[in-house]
Amino acid sequence: MNIVSLIGSNRGEKSTSASMVNYLAQQLVPQGIPVSNHYAVRMYHQPHAQAVFLQELQESVLLIVSSPVYVDFLPAPLIHVLEGVRERMGRNGLEGRKILAIIHSGYPEPQQRRPSLEMCRCFAREMGMEWWGGLSFGGTSPISGQSLEAMGGMTKGIRSVLNQTVEKIVKGGLTGVETLALEDRSTIPLSPWLVKLMMNAMIRNNAKKSGIKDLKARPYGVKGK
């Protein structure tokens, strides 16, 4: 089995989306399952990279889409790549292949990730792929492209879900599902009110330290309001 990953973050290799795929690959590759990484933002700027991706995608068994949420949805370069796949391969052009989506976001609530998971599932349906389900992780901003292990206890829940996923991929235990998200974990176990208080205090302190006076500045004015 060979796996192709599509990393949706505009931060490419330095992203948390890449950290998640790298964590999976570290366990899959030694077991003889290669994982080839492709970056949406690179393909957006270099059409040649998209041709390589399409070629590998056709030869693969499983596509893993790993992406952050940007304003409730997948980042534009990732959508651009998915549109390109549909245009070149046509409806049902990826029949027989499977897809797993890893969608993560800054905010903790599961509903913040649902539209992105839905989009991956709509893509799967249109391309005739078998939906292997989604993994949904909240509160991922502090990871900021570091390795999941380096984040210690904070990423324990995420790693545990990814470990189970590796096991299922290796043993062939993942099969087509109806469910949108197989798992949802957040690194933030606190109430939103408490998070708000803590984060805002930290933001104010950081601004003071770096000499930024007005974080609420309105450079476009308030004309007409």
Partner 1 sequence: MNQVLILNAFPSEKNPQVEEILKAELKDKGWQCEMFALGDMDIKPCRSCGNCATKTPGLCLQKDGMEKILAKWVQSQLVILLSPISFGGYHSDLKKVIDRLLPLNTPYFTVHRGELHHENRYNPMPSLMTIGILREENTQEREAFRYLTQRNAVNMLIDRYAAVIITGNDEPDDVKNQIERGLKEVV
Ligand X SMILES: Cc1cc2nc3c(=O)[nH]c(=O)nc-3n(C[C@H](O)[C@H](O)[C@H](O)COP(=O)(O)O)c2cc1C
Applying CB under 8 A, the residues found at the interface with partner 1 are 9-11, 41, 44, 70-77, 79-80, 82-83, 107-109, 111-112, 114-115, 118-123, 125-126, 192-193, 195-196, 199-200, 203, 206-207, 210, 212, 214-225
Site map 16..55 versus ligand X, x via CB under 6 A: xx--------------------------------------
Decide: 109 and 75 in contact? Cβ < 8 Å: no
Hey, which residues between 88 and 127 contact ligand X (CB under 6 A)? 104-107, 112
CB of 23 to ligand X, least distance (A): 13
Any contact of residue 136 with ligand X (CB under 6 A)?
Answer: no
Q: How many residues does the chain have?
A: 225
Q: What is d(CA 221, CA 16) in angstroms, rounded to the nearest whole number?
A: 35
141 binds ligand X (CB under 6 A): yes
118 binds, among partner 1, ligand X, none (CB under 5 to 8 A by kind): partner 1
Measured CA to CA, the distance from residue 201 to residue 131 in angstroms comes to: 42
Q: Could you tell which of ligand X, partner 1, none binds residue 17, using a CB distance below 5 to 8 A set by kind? A: ligand X
Q: Least distance to partner 1 from the beta carbon of 111, Å?
A: 7
Q: Using a CB cutoff of 8 Å and minimum separation of 24, what contacts does 178-183 make?
A: 179/133, 180/114, 180/117, 180/118, 180/121, 180/133, 180/134, 181/103, 181/110, 181/113, 181/114, 181/117, 181/133, 181/134, 181/135, 181/136, 182/133, 182/134, 182/135, 183/135, 183/136
* Bridge-based pairing state of the strands 35-39 and 62-68: unpaired
CB nearer ligand X, residue 77 or residue 93: 77
* Residue 60 makes contact with ligand X by CB under 6 A: no
